[in-house]
Structure 1
Amino acid sequence: MADQSFVTLATNDSYVKGALVLGSSLQHYRTTRKLTALITPQVSDPMRKVLERVFDEVILVNILDSGDSAHLALMKRPELGVTLTKLHCWELTQYSKCVFMDADTMVLSNIDELFEREELSAAPDPGWPDCFNSGVFVYRPSIETYNRLLQFATEKGSFDGADQGLLNTFFSSWATTDMSKHLPFIYNLSSTSVYSYLPAFKAFGANTKVVHFLGSTKPWNYTYDSRTKSLKGEMHDPKIVHPEFLNMWWDTYVANVLPLLEQHGIVKENTTGVNMAEVTEAVSHMSVSATAPPPSPPAPVLPTVSSQERKERWEQGQADYMGMDSFDNIKKKLDTYLQ
């Protein structure tokens, strides 16, 4: 239907990879709806061109940041502030109804039946089921609703500093008023927290329609061995009880997304399994003391940065190019890593 669309948001090139996997999975299961991607200025032109190969519309929007560092600090996820940019989805009034899906989701079957639901339909959040998870929701675009949400955000803020807290407070009747707006959990199944109730997953997991890669570590942060078609390393991660979903994401990426990236000269990967995710991982764990030459003159003492913080800064384009992430340091580490 031309007046209905799936909508996602990519705030940087890393999340574009997720959006491309999502779009490819929707196409694979033959959705009859349009595909729309909202992007911010941080998305590069080459990645935007690849998005245009998969999505019917790619729309540039401005970043809306809650600036609510105190609340975000409670979640130790300061990067979530920009997810308020998600509110731009209500501006898509060329459509009568939309289903918003985070870029870290992937469909495992056709889910066009969601367009039969009304605003605001969503699945419960596994962490607090009286709140809905804002990674997948059905809504009706409306400039009036958009303006009300912005005003509400300004006056009331968000209890978690991000879009989920804001939307749950704004659509506060979701928990109690109309159960028809409660989507089954299989429409937004957390790839990690679901395993806290493993018997239910064993009984119902095969019916999963949408998997959601919640948390700060996304599928594109892992390394994939294209020879064995399996995840490489990082399998000690206690959150990965079953890697099937991550393998499915990477299967889709390698089959459908990687060829598009290569066509546009964005990434070059070979069959050895060495890829940019692997390189990023290597650099993020780089020991500066072991690779950096003696400073001359003496360099100022810098605050210690954990490997996770350093990795996140790389993903956000904030590498310390003049210090620990200098070209010489990276080259030495990679030479050691690739030998």
Structure 2
Amino acid sequence: MTDEHQSGTACQSSARKPPKGGLRRSTRSRIREAPPEDSPALPTPRTPQWQAKAPAETLWSPWRDQIETGLGFETPKNSGKGDRRRGHRREQRTRPAADKRRVRWAASVRGKRPPLLSIAVSVAGWITLVIVAVLLLVRGQKWQQQQVLSLRATTRRYAYATLLCDDERMLRAVAALVHSLRVRANTSYPILVLTTPNLSTAASQHLEALGATVIRREPLPYPFALNAARLRDNKPCRYAKLHLWSLTTYEKIVFLDGDTLVLAPIDDLFEKYDALAAAPDLYPETFNSGVMVLEPRHDVYASMLARYRETPSYNLGDQGFLNSFFGEQWRANPKRFHLPLEYNTLLKLRETILWASLQRRVRVVHFTGETKPWSWHLTNFRDWDRHIDPVFYYEWIQIDRSARNLSLDEPHWARCALEAQTLAMHNGSLGQRFPLRDRYSVVLSTYSRDDLLHKLLRIHYRPGLFPGKPKSRQKEQTSDASALIDKVFIVWHDPQRTPPPDLLRNLPPDRFLLVQQQQDSLNNRFNPLGPALRTRAVLIVDDDIRIHHEDAAFAFRVWQDNPNALVGFFPRFHRRHPQTGTYEYHIAEPVDHDANASHRQFRRYSIVLTKHMFMRADFLFYYRCLLPDERIHAYVDEHRNCEDIACQCMVTSMGGSAPIAVRAVHPVEDYGTPGVGVAGGISASRSHLGSRSHCIATFLETFWKGSNALLYNDVIMERFVKIPFEKKRLRDLAKT
């Protein structure tokens, strides 16, 4: 078989069957011109009758545009249906011989195009078309669902509801919940606050200003015996929750406990789930009544009132009764009645394997447990850190301040936001956020003592700072004591002056960091320090104090054994005067054990000063960003004093840990004494003790009222040297 016959066969096999009509009746003439002398001879393909046409009349090919563009001519302009052939013939008659030879060569190349490539291009086009169609269909369905939900929102009678028993303990919590529904959930449904007639008018007006509707109902009799613990938890009032089933004006109600906070839209609960729907609790086969989808009905309400007195409750509260009343139905159909955990995220789930995947998709956080974001600093709860999540507590602080029209524009709030983001990146884990346990960071506060600070940084903190990782506690040597320091943060408290340019000269920039403050406040010594802080312990120290590294290393080991306490070298004492009843601040406890003694014997202490004090690194964030009572910071700023007493009250009150004092072996150097050191500080004032006494009275009677905010300790930690003893004879016993 000749080459010409082979090419013609290939062309016939790859050609598509022409449509019926004028194309079949096209001319059978072919251009037969000799190739140019300088070009290689091309075999003439056997072209079908219907395909011997101008390029403009053939079907489209993915190679056609490329070939014709490379040949240097365009498709004829006469592409109309009626005169297409006439236009082509006119163009063909006017073309020179070279162009005709190019057309013949292009036709031969088109006849040899690979069939697999054409198939692949066609399949890719169809796939793209299908994908676009599916995307448009999905987008249309979502738009249609949004329109349906929007229509239902205007026609259906839905509402959110919560319960407020009194305005003494839970008013701020309920107000923050109502505000979160408007701000974070962006809901337009009514928000009902079910309460008792005891709610004050001011509290009712505050809730109504936030967009809530206050509904007053009489409390239901509590079916169990009362004691202090049940009264503290408001269990008798919680049975008033049953009144929700009497609000038949609404088709569905989403109930949220007052200790919840909404972080994302949840309006889909009304359409996705039937009543009664709730999230599973930690106890097996039970649901948590903190978030529920319910349908008010008179018959159900009457049945509940008739049965709640005789129905057992495993927790002696409303949740146990509701599980007894609706539990069988709730367990029967999980798809209809089980809410996902992100709609009711208990902070107790932090101790489970579910927390890693759950915390990033939380819609409603439930502050269960003994500690709450509005009262965590008053609990005296030993396991406080098991129930506190600083990231979600900070979310509550932001919404609470917004609900009370308080600003977040102060400079320290930017540091709080950065620390909250850093904690969120580490899943709120203290171990991941502060991975270094065998070192500590120095937070050095300074104000207008440039010469003293310059010498202190180079004489005291620089030597021995780079030996590397410190040795174990058993093998630690004296020369390695300063290796326990990871970084030194210099907190520059004077916003009116810039630090001297040579302050950090010749000091390693990765170890010595300057933190400039935008306002003068003693509270700034507790500002969060950002991601650069990596140690679990921080040493809060003044710029006029120098303590030997061996003594500091011993105090650090004492803190490692007592991480929830404040550990330092400067203990102080407070008391309530036995005759006058006023609070007093003392350097040491007065003891009148000997009327003729002219000295005072040290016995107890309740405060450790921030002159040189070890504390947990996350306490910086707790003090500066999570304290719910902003009056504490305002008092310190107004009186320019007592930030150390406020910090001591916070740490002691929330965890019940008394301070721990350490006795130094080497002399403690204080350069702030007037007439001796460089310059006198705040404590050099004659009215200093009186101001401190006023601080204690205000803190204990106003800010920490009813809480054991200051506890006594009579133990001084000291290095073991030798136990003194002497040997005696038996006959010497009678002489003593």
| TM-score normalized by the length of structure 2 | 0.34
- In the alignment, is the contact (CA less than 8 A) between 2:370 and 2:381 conserved in 1? no
**Structure-2 separation of matches of 1:45 and 1:4:** 26
Amino acid at match of 2:243: H
Q: Structure 1 vs Structure 2: percent identity of aligned residues? A: 30
Given candidates 157, 161, 174, the residue that maps to 1:3 is 157
1:255 partner SS: helix
Match of 1:84 in 2: 239
Q: CA deviation at 1:71?
A: 10
Q: CA deviation at 1:182?
A: 0.5
1:69 partner SS: coil
- In the alignment, is the contact (CA less than 8 A) between 1:81 and 1:161 conserved in 2? no
- Residues 149-206 of structure 1 deviation map (CA, whole Å, 9 limit, x = unaligned): 1111122242322100000000021453111200011111112x111115x2222311
1:202 partner SS: helix
2:575 partner SS: helix
Match of 1:103 in 2: 258
Match of 1:264 in 2: none
**Structure-2 separation of matches of 1:217 and 1:176:** 30
- In the alignment, is the contact (CA less than 8 A) between 2:312 and 2:324 conserved in 1? no
Match of 1:172 in 2: 327
Given candidates 224, 229, 244, the residue that maps to 1:68 is 224
**Structure-2 separation of matches of 1:214 and 1:335:** 27
1:103 partner SS: coil
Match of 2:30 in 1: none
Q: CA deviation at 1:332?
A: 6.5
- In the alignment, is the contact (CA less than 8 A) between 2:277 and 2:293 conserved in 1? yes
1:26 partner SS: helix
Match of 1:247 in 2: 394
Given candidates 290, 300, 304, the residue that maps to 1:135 is 290
Match of 2:698 in 1: 334
Q: Which gives a bigger RCO, structure 1 or 2 (Cα 8 Å, sep 6+)?
A: 1
RMSD: 3.5
1:200-279 equivalent positions in 2, closer than 5 A:
200-222=354-376, 237-240=384-387, 242-259=389-406
**Change in CA separation of 1:332 and 1:182 when aligned onto 2, cut-off 3 Å:** same
1:107-118 equivalent positions in 2, closer than 5 A:
107-116=262-271, 117-118=273-274
Q: CA deviation at 1:223?
A: 5.4
Match of 1:268 in 2: none
1:38-53 equivalent positions in 2, closer than 5 A:
38-53=194-209
Match of 2:339 in 1: 183
Given candidates 277, 283, 287, the residue that maps to 1:121 is 277
Query: Unaligned regions of 5+ residues in structure 1, if any?
Result: 225-232, 261-271, 275-288, 297-306, 309-329
**Change in CA separation of 1:331 and 1:10 when aligned onto 2, cut-off 3 Å:** farther
- Residues 62-119 of structure 1 deviation map (CA, whole Å, 9 limit, x = unaligned): 112424137997x896532221111111111111110010011111100001102111
Query: Unaligned regions of 5+ residues in structure 2, if any?
Result: 1-152, 408-520, 524-573, 582-652, 655-693, 704-736
**Change in CA separation of 1:245 and 1:335 when aligned onto 2, cut-off 3 Å:** closer
Q: CA deviation at 1:240?
A: 4.1
Residue range with higher mean Cα deviation, 206-215 or 35-44: 35-44
**Structure-1 separation of matches of 2:247 and 2:166:** 21
2:159 partner SS: strand
**Structure-1 separation of matches of 2:522 and 2:192:** 32
Moved beyond 6 Å, runs of 4+ = 70-73, 233-236, 335-338
1:245 partner SS: helix
